[in-house]
Amino acid sequence: MPAPWEIRCNKKSKPKHGRAEMDSTGETSEKMQMKKEITLLNGVSLIVGNMIGSGIFVSPRGVLMYSASYGLSLVIWALGGIFSLFGALCYAELGTSIMKSGASYAYILEAFGGFVAFIRLWSSLLIIEPTTQAVIAITFANYIVQPIFPHCEPPYDAVRLIAAACVCSLTFINCVNVKWGTRVQDVFTYAKVMALFLVISVGLYKIGKGETENLRAPFEGSATNPGMIALALYSALFSYSGWDTLNYVTEEMQNPERNLPLSIAISMPIVTAIYLLTNIAYYVVLDMSALLTSDAVAVTFGGETLSYAKWIIPIVVAMSCYSGLNSSIIAASRLFYVGAREGQLPDSLSLIHVKCFTPVPALLFNGLMTLIYLLVEDVFLLINYYCFNYWLFVGLSVAGLICLRYTQPHRPRPIKLSLFFPIVYCLCSLFLVIVPLYSDTINSLIGIGIALSGVPAYYLGVYLPVEKRPKCLQWLSATTTKYVQMLFYCALSDMDMEPTTAKNK
């Protein structure tokens, strides 16, 4: 009988003659792979839940501040939705032709090779994923304790402890069962959408009563400076980020060739319509000065319109953050899992639980990184470092679609877009890369430095042949993998033992 850390697949043994046989019970072999448990409805909830985070409740003022009028801001929100739809359609083609989890990492790896893909993975590991999740968790904690401390700042330690509890609870849920994670996502997404419907209903009721003073000259005072309009569009597009969430779990979807593009097609119009109608409701009830000075627009809106029910809004914002954090944890853990499976992160992160079929080590690693970032007092400032990296790698992954059309013309493509869509998206992504370089140069350069810090790591851990890598790193990796397998009852999946088309270099 093999030692626990030698387990590779379930219900199989390897006899002396070298051919895999069924175990003595004669049961049908079951592949050691993550199960395909994500349905079409789960897919829609993941996308909608991640796109509609706390931003639409807390601070949708960025677009209004730069556009300077209600009318132009609504036009920019609509343009942001159209642009995001272009990107999502490109990911629908990529996701159905490259049937791997990992989203942009998997597509960049296939199109541009291991080095560029590793830099994308390194950026996510060091800054993008843990910072994003820490900020969402802290926002969740702030709104949970707000009813207890309505007139003062909540205690710092209490907020951080609640944020840590939020991260730990969601990590545990996703370790135990994929279905548990998707059910949490479904329930909390429904709750936040219903809350937004409440906001929209109040706005439509006000319009029906003729209270439209704020909308009578919607384009008056609109910004005409191209730079200001560009910054307004940038703010809107950042609010739409998250439409790629489902591409991180492609391998766990039921019938991904159908359900992946269909989830995108359903989710994008829903989110765009909700954003437009919610902003209209805000504009009807609140004047521009109130919108631009409020730290939490939805809370101010609730105070003006919901009377004794205004306590609902902080709770709903917290639920929205919980949903967004859950989808982010699901996506990030799959990114690290796929990166390890491709040989670009330690093998221990490519293990899955023998009975739960979940990437427990990757989930725990992601949770640990987030908890470490919760110890950083100015964690909100760290989010400024990755805007440049985020849009660069999203644009590169869509550019990979164009590249693969020429380098792999015979690859099966269940969905094949006109090249108009990826070309337009790449040009707009170039704009999104330039904007933070222009408007926030220092932070963008720091973000570039963080990404490039992965070059030595790539050389030592990926580029060098195994026999030439530092012995201490090899020993550390082997020892970690051994004890992670024993401690968490994990094994390598069947797919890990199959050759891949794009490995390391």
Question: Across residues 390-415, what is the average pLDDT?
Answer: 92
| Coil vs helix vs strand at 1 | coil
Lowest mean pLDDT among 285-294, 381-390, 479-488: 381-390
Residue 411 falls in which region: left (phi positive, over 0), alpha (psi -120 to 50) or beta? beta
Whether residue 167 contacts residue 374, with contact meaning beta carbons closer than 8 Å, is answered with yes
Whether residue 250 contacts residue 168, with contact meaning beta carbons closer than 8 Å, is answered with no
Lowest mean pLDDT among 49-63, 155-169, 437-451: 49-63
> What's the confidence (pLDDT) of residue 30?
61
For residue 55, give Cα distances in angstroms to 203, 278, 284, 318. 19, 12, 19, 12
> What's the confidence (pLDDT) of residue 59?
64
> What's the confidence (pLDDT) of residue 11?
41
> What's the confidence (pLDDT) of residue 219?
86
Q: Please list, in sequence order, all residues whose beta carbon lies within 8 angstroms of the beta carbon of residue 322, skipping any fewer than 6 positions away.
A: 140, 166, 170, 184, 188
> What's the confidence (pLDDT) of residue 495?
57
> What's the confidence (pLDDT) of residue 22?
35
For residue 480, give Cα distances in angstroms to 36, 387, 470. 28, 33, 16
Virtual torsion, Cα 103, 109, 114, 120, nearest 10 deg: -30
Token look-up 């219903």 returns 194
% of the chain surpassing 90 pLDDT: 46
> What's the confidence (pLDDT) of residue 127?
87
User: Per-residue pLDDT tens for 303-352?
Assistant: 888 877 778 888 888 888 899 899 999 999 999 999 999 999 999 999 99
User: Per-residue pLDDT tens for 194-249?
Assistant: 989 998 999 999 998 888 888 888 888 888 887 788 888 878 887 888 899 999 99
> What's the confidence (pLDDT) of residue 226?
79
Residue 14 has pLDDT above 50, yes or no: no
Average model confidence (pLDDT) for the chain? 85
> What's the confidence (pLDDT) of residue 405?
93
Question: Across residues 383-402, what is the average pLDDT?
Answer: 86
Question: Across residues 153-176, what is the average pLDDT?
Answer: 93
> What's the confidence (pLDDT) of residue 494?
66
Whether residue 175 contacts residue 358, with contact meaning beta carbons closer than 8 Å, is answered with yes
Question: Across residues 471-500, what is the average pLDDT?
Answer: 79
% of the chain surpassing 70 pLDDT: 91
Whether residue 56 contacts residue 139, with contact meaning beta carbons closer than 8 Å, is answered with no
CA dist 377 and 342 (Å) reads: 34
Lowest mean pLDDT among 49-63, 280-294, 472-486: 49-63
CA dist 109 and 343 (Å) reads: 12
More confident residue, 386 or 450: 450
CA dist 377 and 264 (Å) reads: 37
| Coil vs helix vs strand at 326 | helix
Residue 172 has pLDDT above 70, yes or no: yes
Residue 12 has pLDDT above 70, yes or no: no
User: Per-residue pLDDT tens for 39-91?
Assistant: 999 999 999 988 887 778 766 777 888 888 899 999 999 999 999 999 999 99
Total residues belonging to the chain = 505
Question: Across residues 34-43, what is the average pLDDT?
Answer: 88
Q: 203-209: long-range contacts at Cβ-Cβ below 8 A with a sequence spacing of 24 or more?
A: 203/277, 203/278, 203/280, 203/281, 203/282, 203/284, 203/285, 204/277, 204/281, 206/281, 206/284, 206/285, 207/280, 207/284
Residue 8 has pLDDT above 60, yes or no: no
> What's the confidence (pLDDT) of residue 119?
94
